[in-house]
Amino acid sequence: MAKSSKTFVCQSCGATFSKWSGRCESCGEWNTIQEETPLSQGPAGKTLGSSRGKAVALHDLSTAEAPPPRSASGIAELDRVLGGGLVPGSAVLVGGDPGIGKSTLLLQAAAAFSKAGLGVVYASGEEASAQVRMRAQRLGLADAPVKLAAETNLRDILTTLEAERPGLIIIDSIQTMWADNVDSAPGSVSQVRAAAHELTNFAKRRNTAVIMVGHVTKEGQIAGPRVVEHMVDTVLYFEGERGHQFRILRSVKNRFGPADEIGVFEMTGGGLSEVANPSALFLSERGQTAPGSTVFAGIEGTRPVLVEFQALVSPTPHSQPRRSVVGWDGGRLAMILAVLESRCGIPFAGLDVYLNVAGGIRIAEPAADLAVAAALLSAREDTALPAETVVFGEISLSGALRPVAQTENRLKEAQKLGFSTAILPEGGKAAGSGGMTLTQKPDLAAVVGDIFGA
């Protein structure tokens, strides 16, 4: 069978095509399709029946075959995001913008795991060994028993690993790795995919955990680590806003633990330090209660976290008013503005709306709807909410408030941080509210009328 020797691969999403085009049909990105030589195929003419694969009943798997227990690094924020420590033989992808602190985090993790007794090899394709050592010195980790390898050739790395047999290998970054059997430039989708495939295979075969760093770029110039996401067991994103010292490590996929778990760190002159009480940190910049500010009692992963929403509403000089959001979903903001307008008779036409989550954290929970609506109302009416008040609840298109999960945990966290009142939907299990005063409302119109008098 004649086989075309060329394929065209989208460098953004990894879709393959038989001919070049300017726009990827799969992800819609422009100018991301490049010609690549395909990965070598398996032996031709192989027939079924020669398989060595064998199925084993679940209950027949002896516990002797079970992998050894997880290793904890002792960095509690990291261990929790991993689902309680690193699973031997697992593959983890840590994605994030360049310069956000991935190398710093992983060097600290390497030192912590090695001090906890795990053999660690840190392979850096971005920095020379001397540079990594300098960074380690700066972080006060120069004495950690971590082995460094400034390598980009995958074959050399795998050879080193066969000899060293570490418990953990860190690859910084997957975009700099180069498999010599693949005929395209480092950082291309083919290379990234081949390198990730080899490394995860090695991880499973040798029971060595592998952590890969992947840069995410919006331009799609470098292959996004998205093509790797389905290959690995765990995908973590390291995020934060520039100009803020907070960094959030978030699990978006985890075969061995809960997804959406977060670990909070602070970038200091001496590296990343753990933030054990994120609520206190996110609210630390909050001064006097001002119009437009509300405190949302949220849940991130398994943990309650209090964050401040800030809204600003001002008359617009433009025909098309501005809707600007940082840290929340723009579509969701539009929905809440529409509900306020249609169900509560509060128009926002002719008004610019700015919404911001303080501290640089991103909130994705629909439970924040009511906190956003309250912030918008408070800004529009120029009325501050009563001090020591937290707000949460989901808003439906009808304007009704829906109870949200983990009401008790949210209230407990709020009380712990000195809040005394909560505005929330009716229903929901709020039995353990302790000393909190609960203002429960059936719909948004009731919140508008009773609390803002609008």
Contacts with 269 (C-beta within 8 Å, 6 or more apart), sequence order: none
Residue 22 or 270 with smaller CB distance to ligand TYD = 270
Contacts with 55 (C-beta within 8 Å, 6 or more apart), sequence order: none
138 contact, one of ligand TYD, Mg ion, none, CB 5-8 Å limit per kind: ligand TYD
Using CB under 6 A as the binding rule, whether residue 271 contacts ligand TYD is answered as yes
96 contact, one of ligand TYD, Mg ion, none, CB 5-8 Å limit per kind: ligand TYD
Residue 131 or 160 with smaller CB distance to Mg ion = 131
| Two tokens, residue 163 | 């000899």
- Least separation, in Å, of the C-beta of 100 and ligand TYD? 4
| Two tokens, residue 382 | 């120029």
Contact in structure between 443 and 399 (CB atoms under 8 Å): yes
Q: How far apart are CA 22 and CA 39, in angstroms?
A: 23
Contact in structure between 112 and 106 (CB atoms under 8 Å): no
- Least separation, in Å, of the C-beta of 78 and Mg ion? 17
- Least separation, in Å, of the C-beta of 177 and Mg ion? 14
Residue 101 or 304 with smaller CB distance to ligand TYD = 101
- Least separation, in Å, of the C-beta of 102 and ligand TYD? 3
Query: 3-state DSSP call for residue 109?
Result: helix
Pick the binder of ligand TYD from 115, 133, 138, 197 (CB under 6 A).
138
| Two tokens, residue 30 | 């422009």
269 contact, one of Mg ion, ligand TYD, none, CB 5-8 Å limit per kind: ligand TYD
Of 180, 291, 226, whose CA–CA distance to 9 is shortest?
A: 226
Using CB under 6 A as the binding rule, whether residue 243 contacts ligand TYD is answered as no
Q: Which stretch binds Mg ion (CB under 5 A): 64-72, 101-109, 190-198, 420-428?
A: 101-109
Contacts (CB under 5 A) with Mg ion, residues 375-434:
none
Pick the binder of ligand TYD from 43, 49, 117, 269 (CB under 6 A).
269
Binding residues for ligand TYD, rule CB under 6 A, total 15
Using CB under 5 A as the binding rule, whether residue 103 contacts Mg ion is answered as yes
DSSP assignment of 293-324, as one string? Answer: EEEEEEEETTEEEEEEEEEEEEE-SSSS--EE
Q: Please tell me what DSSP assigns to residue 93.
A: E
- In the annotated binding site, the residues are 96-103
Percent of the chain as helix, strand, coil, to the nearest 5:
30, 25, 45
- Least separation, in Å, of the C-beta of 354 and ligand TYD? 27
Q: Please tell me what DSSP assigns to residue 367.
A: G
Pick the binder of ligand TYD from 9, 124, 135, 390 (CB under 6 A).
135
On the CB side of 338, how many CA atoms lie within 13 Å of its CA?
9
- In the annotated binding site for ATP, the residues are 96-103
Q: How far apart are CA 414 and CA 80, in angstroms?
A: 22
Q: How far apart are CA 100 and CA 108, in angstroms?
A: 14
373 contact, one of Mg ion, ligand TYD, none, CB 5-8 Å limit per kind: none
Q: How far apart are CA 268 and CA 121, in angstroms?
A: 25
Residue 104 or 310 with smaller CB distance to ligand TYD = 104
Residue 125 or 304 with smaller CB distance to Mg ion = 125
Contacts with 219 (C-beta within 8 Å, 6 or more apart), sequence order: none
Contacts (CB under 6 A) with ligand TYD, residues 74-103:
96, 98-103
The binding site for ligand TYD (CB under 6 A) comprises 96, 98-104, 135, 138-139, 267, 269-271
